[in-house]
């Protein structure tokens, strides 16, 4: 013998407790399962308000259906949590896209310039243009501001900044060596 609780699209079934069980016991079980702090319980169109009343007072029997309705505080908190999660996902996508762009379009050209080194006949403007593009990428990554509790986003952004900064440092060393050799 069970009681069904409808919560949004979910259906929760639990064993019918003894008739003298206070409503607060059912609320506590639902609170632990749903992680909601405040909600309304509705049975046959009536809001169950008195937590100290036994469930028999509300005519809750085997096969009864209760509706669980989050109050505005919990509904708002859930909406904020979902929005934060989607914002973090968007930030992760932005970091991944920026790094993929650097790897696909700038790294091959950078590798050519670094491999050629001092024997290169590449014009100085190629080195400067590539340095400028890497710096712009670094600034775009720096402009992303993950929330304090977005650990994955913070780590991914930090790793991307380190990678782009490393590429920029390698290019700067090559430019400095070329200047020292009088090639620029």
- Residue 82 pLDDT grade (very low, low, confident, very high; cuts 50, 70, 90): low
pLDDT over 70 at 150, yes or no: yes
DSSP symbols for the chain: -EEEEEETTEEEEEEPPPTT-BHHHHHHHHHHHH--SSEEEEETTEE---TTSBGGGGT--TT-EEEEEE-HHHHHHHHHHHHHHHHHHHHHHHHHHHHHHIIIIIHHHHHHHHHHGGG----HHHHHHHHHHHHHHHHHHHH----TT-HHHHHHHHHHHHHHHHHHHHHHHHHHHHHHTT--
For the segment 141-150, the average pLDDT, to the nearest whole number, is 89
Q: Which two tokens stand for residue 75?
A: 């509904």
How many Å apart are CA 79 and CA 146, to the nearest integer? Answer: 19
pLDDT over 90 at 136, yes or no: yes
Residue among 135, 142, 138 nearest 172 (CA): 135
Per the prediction, the chain carries an average pLDDT of 86
Instruction: Please tell me the least confidently modeled range out of 18-22, 42-46, 123-127.
Output: 123-127
For the segment 22-36, the average pLDDT, to the nearest whole number, is 86
Give pTM, 2 decimals. 0.55
């Amino acid at each position: 013998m069970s009681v069904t609780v409808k919560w949004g699209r979910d259906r929760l079934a639990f064993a019918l407790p003894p008739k003298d069980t206070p409503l607060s016991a059912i609320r506590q079980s639902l609170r632990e399962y749903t992680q909601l702090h405040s909600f309304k319980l509705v049975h046959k169109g009536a809001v169950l308000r008195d937590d100290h009343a036994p469930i028999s007072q509300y005519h809750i029997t085997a096969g009864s259906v209760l509706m669980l309705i989050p109050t505005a505080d919990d509904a708002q908190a859930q909406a904020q949590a979902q929005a934060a999660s989607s914002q973090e996902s968007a930030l992760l996508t932005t970091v991944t896209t920026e790094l993929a762009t650097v790897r696909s379009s700038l790294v091959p050209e950078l590798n050519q310039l670094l491999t050629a080194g001092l024997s290169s006949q590449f014009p100085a403007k190629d080195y400067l243009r590539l340095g400028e593009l890497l710096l712009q990428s670094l600034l775009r990554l720096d402009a992303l501001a993950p929330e304090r509790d977005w650990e994955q986003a913070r780590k991914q952004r930090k790793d991307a900044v380190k990678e782009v900064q490393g590429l920029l440092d390698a290019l700067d060393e090559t430019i400095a060596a070329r200047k020292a050799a009088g090639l620029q």
